[in-house]
Structure 1
Amino acid sequence: MQEHRFSLTVFVFIAVINVVFGELQTAEKNLQFEAAFQGRCGIDSPCQQLCYELHDGMFECDCKVGFSLHEDGYTCTRNDSATDKIKEFEQDIGLTFVDSNDIDSEDSVRFVKISKPTSTTDKAHICSLQCGEGVCVFDNHGKSTCRCPFGKTGSDCQITNQIRYPRFNGLSWLAFPPLRGAYKHAQISLEFRPESWDGILFLAGERDDLVGDFMAILLHNGFLEFRFDCGSGIGVVKSDETVILNQWNTLSVYRHRWDAWIQLNRGKRIAGRSKGLFSRITFREPVFIGGPGNTSGLVERLPTDRGFVGCIRLLQTNDHRYDFGEAPAGDTISAKEIEECSTDKCTRSPCQHGGKCVTSNKTSLCLCPLGYTGDLCGTKLDLQVPAFNGSSYLRHPALGDTALSWLDLDITFKTQSPNGLILYEGYQKYGTADFISVYLINGYLEFAFDLGTGTAILRSPHIISLNEWHKVLISRTGRLATMFVDNQSHVQVLSPGAFTQLSLPLSMFIGGTPDFDEVSSNVKMRNSFRGCIQKIVVNDKPLRIVQGALSGANIGNCPHPCVAKPCGTEAQCIPVFDKYKCVCNKHCNSTDSSQVSFDGTSFVHYTNREIQKRITDGHLEIDLRFRTTALSGLILWTGRTDRSADYLALGLQDGRIEVAFDLGSGETVLKYNASGSSINDGRWHKIKFTRHERLSVIVIDNGTKMFTISNGKLNQLNTNTGLYFGGTEDVEKSTGKRYKKGFIGCVSDFVLNTDYQVKLSWSTNTKNVCIS
């Protein structure tokens, strides 16, 4: 009888599987149907449920979870009851059906045997703590401890730990059910408050070893990255600015098939694209937030395997906003080491490192001293580009009598508000007297000054745009002042009265002041600055904005590549708007010449007319000194924008110098193969290359001369790209894969045609170059 029952069960089991697979295949055909329409989404679109705009002036319709797109391309029909049938059957036979929401996958149905928890009675001794809803376990030292479930805390798991905004400690994570309805299109909104530069924020994929399809949002060296793989290659979209530590950051991610873009802190959108032909992503694994969960294989697929440190207060994918509470009321199905985020601890804990706790509008915050940030001023900052939050300021030594007759100011800034004090210095704390002030008011930039006989004001002709870098030049000689803002027309003013000198004995304040009552009443702005101040030059002398300050408060780091220290420990990162240059430390210095250091990705691009003339002349001499330990790398290159014929490349191959050039009659290569000519020994060497029409000569350190004569009759080098020094934007592409990277090492005494000393200050494009 039991055998007959078993046979009947198997027969029913197989029958249901056949029914289910048949219904799922029918659903699959419906789901895979796609249609695109010309136009844009809106009230006039035919889409019944969802509408997605494509990048080519088209849009397509889609359906919510539980519905399938009809063959007309715009209406939706409710899915069949295949899933309900499976659930009824699995309860009878003790099997669980697992459904993938990706209809591209061949392995769209699988059955998993339900198993009971294993017994732990084989322990040498029993963990005897009373842990309430938690579990008693042994730690690494064999000591009993309680592992509390999500939402409980304390030594015995008796304290309710309501999680509204989770905080992650680097080992924490939250797990949500697998993504549904996101196989082709996903819009993700995220608000997070990072406390470190690296960590996984979001991870969802097909397998727990990260092989196959996946989507990931992570921090790496302070930059935000969105990585996704549709099954045929990873696409990477990376922010061009760093996140802001210990402050709330916003992120928007958009992915449609192969294409994606991200937008960090409402900045500009950065776009990218995945590789290969596949455009859909299978999601079977849980969505992990704040860490990798049980996912392995991270090192092979992601640049970091660290967990996120900080808080998350918003996660939304497509039309679903996640509730961080425990299921079934919330969305969390599993968690590890989660605690509630609290950004207002000042009322319960004292500010650290001399910070001052202040209360305003029933909220409290710590005013942190210079070099510290965080809720309680507990995070030490290596300040690169100072950011001001509206309660910040920096105090600098007074200008004194250095600005008596003339004053030049060069300021680079980016503002988040149309109002705010950028710079102020006066003669006395109260009353009317000499002062200078630069501030924003109602979106306009103003420079106000008083020589003791009345205030004069310069105003920019146009409103200053928010969240963009601006450069202002102010010059005052006697009573006359002139101001240039970006490319706007200049303005000038003559101060009233007969006085012509300016005396400033008090401290200079940048970004704000601790007491606006001490600011002259003739300054119309009474709010502190909100934004970033990148550079201030006073009378041709760069001001060390952070390092030179006597004191300050609430100074953070502006989102900028310099924050991630791209120049390493051997050089100082100097911001240049959204880019930077590296200034060498002593290792590359010389007492008699200017030197530069390259890291293999850096270069200088010259378009100077005099340089171009010498490069393309019938006679060319290149003299320079260098040192390196690298085997290969491009030192110098010039060519044509259409990549036809004429070019000249000088570089290292296998530790030896070579020159390759083409005058239009074919390539000529001249290698320096003299005895002992391997020059990647870290010592200084001198190279001299001479080309006189078709004849070329090269010599290293006054050694043996090597020469060659190019083929053909052409003798002119006709290039139009200027001169690249140290590398190019794409070395492999520029050199036809002759070189894979730029030069690594130091160079000095770069001279063309014996009389022309090339200087870095003449370059039009500098990237990652270390200048001494």
Structure 2
Amino acid sequence: MNDIRHNAVELFNLSEYYGYPCQSNPCPSNQQCYQRESNNYTCIEQSKHHDASLELDGTVNVIYSYTPLNLNRNYFDLLLKTKHSSGLIFYIGETSISFFSKYISLILVNGFLQFETKIDINSSVVVVKSRIRIDDGRWHRVEIERFRRRIIMKLDDSHRYQTVLLSKETEFYPNPSYIYIGGYNRLCNYDEQHCRSYRGCLNNVTIDHNYLSLIKESPVISYELFSSNILWPRSFTFIGNLPNQYRSTNSHIIEGFQGAIQKIILNNHSINDIRHNAVELFNLSEYYGYPCQSNPCPSNQQCYQRELNNYTCIEQSKHQDASLELDGTVNVIYSYTPLNLNRNYFDLLLKTKHSSGLIFYIGETSISFFSKYLSLILINGFLQFETKIDINSSVVVVKSRIRIDDGRWHRVEIERFRRRIIMKLDDSHRYQTVLLSKETEFYPNPSYIYIGGYNRLCNYDEQHCRSYRGCLNNITIDHNYLSLIKGDINQHRLLKPCSSNLTK
């Protein structure tokens, strides 16, 4: 059948396909053709800047200075490409009062773009949504303009969405004057959609018609110096990075310094605390020295540095099969029968540089995979323990407030006793909640714990579908040690202990 339209009973939204529209190179020489739909294309001018594009994998977000040129107007123009359906593309907010008292944001929700505006603390948020999905792995151009109360969003130069603010205010000035791109973990305490990190590519980002250098970072600290030289009466010294406006066109500076500085001498003057007399400070904290140098842990435990100033003590296992490294392609299964149906206890060490993945799942799957279950998952770098032991109740979630996808060891201890749930992270962060269900007993069927992933969950929930990539160590369940490498169930799986360095 050469033409599927012949002899058809019904035709709906069907058109003839004339072939790949960019094949004939219809765009000017300084522009590139991108296919948008079957027969349509758009021409996008290629940036001459080598730092015009940025790829985000969900583990990193970036911050840039942003001061509106006109308080009554905001203009954004960018290209994006992603295959993921959710994530925060950018956020600008007045955070001195509340993170959502006054803000502008662009997020991806179920594959659709959503631009949110709230410039009056007494008014409600106004939302502009696209009607076509953009999570197809192709480039899409997004152009957004707010002028006073009018908002216009254009997608791929052919789809236009418009609304009007109902607020009395028309001026918007963010405080602090930053734009957060790709994610902002402090929003996780307020809104789930803004909590998810964007994964994909950004290109040719302009704000208020000014090009945004995506790769370069803001300075860590800057000083203003004065001299007796009339030709150069004042100058700036930057420590940690160099702002874009002070860089030459052939600058080889790629990223800023990350670490600790003990002392700096400027003009023969020793500065023991570089925070004094600084014009600008960004992401700076005092360093007290290597925290494990004094051996603060007991003799049977080893000290691990978690951040510059923090450490955790981890008991060293005597078992040879205590650790397991997972690369996302292999998951493991172990038998699990609770010693007490009213209580579950988990204690483990984990280390990863990846922001998402299923660490373990235990469920009553004879009815439905999520009718009764316990699970620990990693979402945007934060731990999330979910509990549902009553088929008629809703799931209860306990979330950590600090990220653990930093490639360092973290200890996680979780206990459920009847309706009370406690999760402790690194022996210093404690999170607690209470179940609202009538039931207090939990018995999994089948009696297995799935670690690292479980592909049958992919039909039900995206967050549980992702495999964990990283290391696990010293896992105990109900105070019983779990042999990770050995076991009859996993004898045909190629398992290996954790390497000394986590580089994947």
Please report the TM-score for the alignment, with normalisation by the length of structure 1.
0.23
* More helix, by proportion: 1
Which structure exhibits the higher relative contact order, with contacts defined as CA atoms closer than 8 Å and separated by 6 or more residues?
2
Please report the TM-score for the alignment, with normalisation by the length of structure 2.
0.34
